[in-house]
Amino acid sequence: MADWREREVGNETRSRDINEIEDANLEHPGGSTTNRYVCECSDASCMATIRLTQDEYEQVRANGAHFAIALDHENPELDLVLAEHEAFAVVRKLPGFPARLARASDPRVAARVRVAS
Ligand SMILES: [Zn+2]
């Protein structure tokens, strides 16, 4: 059942979970100073870190299918590069299965559902 795409998107959503925890404990909340986040690419062995301001990170997190990754870490079979910045890139999961899985596991969507009920 779990094919390679599910595993790879799973790697990205795990990194997102780590970043969500770090986002709650930022060295430099707000402003133009960057914070360290982990690369959210689909490579489970990737140990890269990227630097974004909290605002940049929040812009990525506003969409459940968007991820922040190190430059050149996109997987063309799963990711569409939306923007390349000096120190990181923003990708969107391709439509269909990868995007659905990314959205279904979005911790912020789960939080909104909990608040609503
Ligand atoms: Zn990476």
Please write the tens of the pLDDT for every residue from 5-24: 888 888 888 889 989 888 77
Q: Output the 3-class SS for the chain.
A: CCCHHHHHHHHHHHHHHHHHHHHCCCCCCCCCCEEEEECCCCCCCCCCEEEEEHHHHHHHHCCCCEEEECCCCCCCCCEEEEEECCCCEEEEECCCHHHHHHHHCCHHHHHHHHHHC
Cα 41 from Cα 59, distance rounded (Å): 17
Ligand 1: centre distance to CA 95 (Å):
21
Ligand 1: centre distance to CA 30 (Å):
25
Segments of the chain with pLDDT less than 70? 1-2, 111-117
Ligand 1: centre distance to CA 80 (Å):
15
- What is residue 2's predicted lDDT score, i.e. its pLDDT? 60
- What is residue 13's predicted lDDT score, i.e. its pLDDT? 85
- What is residue 115's predicted lDDT score, i.e. its pLDDT? 62
Ligand 1: centre distance to CA 107 (Å):
20
Ligand 1: centre distance to CA 115 (Å):
32
- What is residue 3's predicted lDDT score, i.e. its pLDDT? 77
Ligand 1: centre distance to CA 89 (Å):
10
- What is residue 11's predicted lDDT score, i.e. its pLDDT? 83
In this prediction the pTM is 0.81
